[in-house]
């Protein structure tokens, strides 16, 4: 029988330490995402973990109530970013835009997967480093010529990288922030690794887009979502203020949809008002969620 995956129930917000106020949705007990059943284990009872999504009453971050072990999920990971040609194209456009706007000399991507993004910087002759916890995936990135350090990123690893490689003037963290159990340690690591005049680009899921598109299949493992960029900034306020980080640009990428990309000016961020889906039964309605942020 397969070894059981360890998990824990949260009793306070993993960003601000506040109490949970509202149940957003309850998807029941579910198997671990991306944990495929082996042929010789098809008759075994698959382990299931409660998949309840709740709202912090203080910083309004929407997050899972139960977290599975990150080592169990990501140490040997089956998902490869490069299997999606549209996502690789998106990464290429993003990379060219960053090179044009910021002319980075040293780029670090956190959760760099199989090199789907950093390969574009390598081809441009820009020094880069990927950080990837899954050894099997990191090996694929190395084969593409993308230098990759295996491990989970945080303040300790950031200190090691700075001592060895120096600070980065561009840090990229695409779709990883939502999976990080200790968000404050992760963000503190970014602040340590980032050069004084550097830029950090974070890509993360957007809660209202999830609700409007009934994208509840994207709720898995350890995920945290916020309703807006300003709420994200508020959630990280204790860390952000101590690190002197400021929000300079916001974009909403609807990669898998036919809607156009939405761009905002960071000095006057406005929320896209999306209608809730009538086909999804959630414990928290769109109007309830909006009122929580007031």
Over residues 191-209, the mean pLDDT reads 85
Pick the CATH number of 81-203 from 3.30.30.60, 3.30.420.40, 3.40.50.150, 3.40.50.1100: 3.40.50.150
Find the range with the poorest average confidence among 22-36, 72-86, 176-190, 255-269: 255-269
Q: Where along the chain do its domains lie?
A: 1-68+205-238+271-294, 81-203
Residue-level pLDDT at 262: 40
Residue-level pLDDT at 245: 61
Instruction: Fill in the DSSP letter of residue 175.
Output: S
Cα-to-chain-centroid distance, residue 177: 3
CA angle 152, 77, 112 (to 5 degrees): 50
Find the range with the poorest average confidence among 24-28, 31-35, 122-126, 179-183: 31-35
Q: Which residue has the tokens 């082996």?
A: 38
Q: What is the tens place of the pLDDT at every residue in 211-255? A: 777 777 666 554 555 545 555 555 555 554 455 566 667 666 655
Most confident region among 8-17, 37-46, 205-214, 266-275 by mean pLDDT: 8-17
Residue of 218, 81, 108, 76 lying closest to 173 (CA atoms): 108
Residue-level pLDDT at 257: 37
**φ, ψ for residue 170 (rounded to 5)?**
-150, 120
Residue-level pLDDT at 161: 98
- Contact partners, residue 246, CB within 8 Å, separation at least 6: none
Residue-level pLDDT at 63: 86
Q: Which residue has the tokens 């040609």?
A: 85
Q: Which residue has the tokens 């480093």?
A: 129
**Residues 180-193: b if buried by 16+ CB within 10 A, e if exposed:** bbebbbbbbbbbbb
The DSSP-derived string for 23-73 is EEEEEEEEEPTT-PPPGGGTTSPPPEEEEEEEEETTT--EEESEEE-HHHH
Over residues 69-87, the mean pLDDT reads 76
Residue of 86, 27, 33 lying closest to 54 (CA atoms): 27
**Alpha-carbon gap, residue 35 to 49, rounded angstroms:** 12
Sheet containing 148-150, strands listed edge to edge, beginning at the edge strand earlier in sequence: 148-150, 127-132, 106-110, 168-174, 194-203
Higher pLDDT, 51 or 132: 132
Return the H-helix or E-strand segment holding 203.
strand 194-203
Q: What is the tens place of the pLDDT at every residue in 96-143? A: 999 999 999 999 999 999 999 999 999 999 999 999 998 999 999 999
């Amino acid at each position: 029988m397969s070894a059981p995956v360890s998990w824990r129930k949260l009793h306070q917000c993993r960003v601000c330490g506040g109490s949970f106020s509202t149940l957003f949705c309850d998807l029941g007990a579910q198997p671990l995402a991306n944990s495929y059943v082996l042929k010789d284990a098809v008759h075994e009872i698959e382990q299931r973990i409660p998949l309840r999504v709740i709202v912090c009453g203080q910083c309004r971050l929407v997050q899972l109530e139960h977290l599975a072990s990150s080592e169990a999920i990501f140490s040997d990971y089956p998902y490869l970013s490069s299997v999606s040609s549209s996502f690789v194209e998106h990464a290429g456009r993003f990379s060219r835009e960053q090179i044009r706007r910021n002319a980075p000399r040293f780029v670090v991507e956190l959760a760099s997967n199989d090199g789907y993004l950093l390969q574009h910087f390598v081809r441009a002759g820009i020094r880069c480093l990927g950080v990837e916890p899954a050894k099997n995936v990191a090996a694929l990135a190395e084969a593409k010529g993308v230098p990759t350090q295996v491990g989970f990123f945080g303040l300790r690893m950031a200190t090691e990288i700075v001592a060895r490689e120096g600070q980065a003037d561009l840090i990229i963290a695409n779709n990883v922030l939502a999976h990080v159990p200790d968000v404050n340690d992760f963000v503190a690591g970014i602040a340590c690794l980032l050069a004084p005049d550097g830029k950090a680009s974070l890509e993360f899921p957007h809660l209202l887009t999830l609700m409007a598109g009934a994208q509840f299949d994207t709720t898995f493992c350890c995920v945290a979502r916020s309703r807006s960029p300003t709420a994200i900034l508020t959630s990280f306020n204790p860390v952000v203020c101590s690190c002197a980080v400021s929000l300079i640009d916001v974009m909403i990428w609807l990669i898998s949809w036919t809607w156009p990309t939405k761009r905002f000016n960071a000095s006057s961020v406005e929320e896209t008002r999306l209608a809730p889906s009538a086909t999804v039964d959630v414990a928290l309605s769109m109007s309830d969620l909006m009122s929580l942020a007031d």
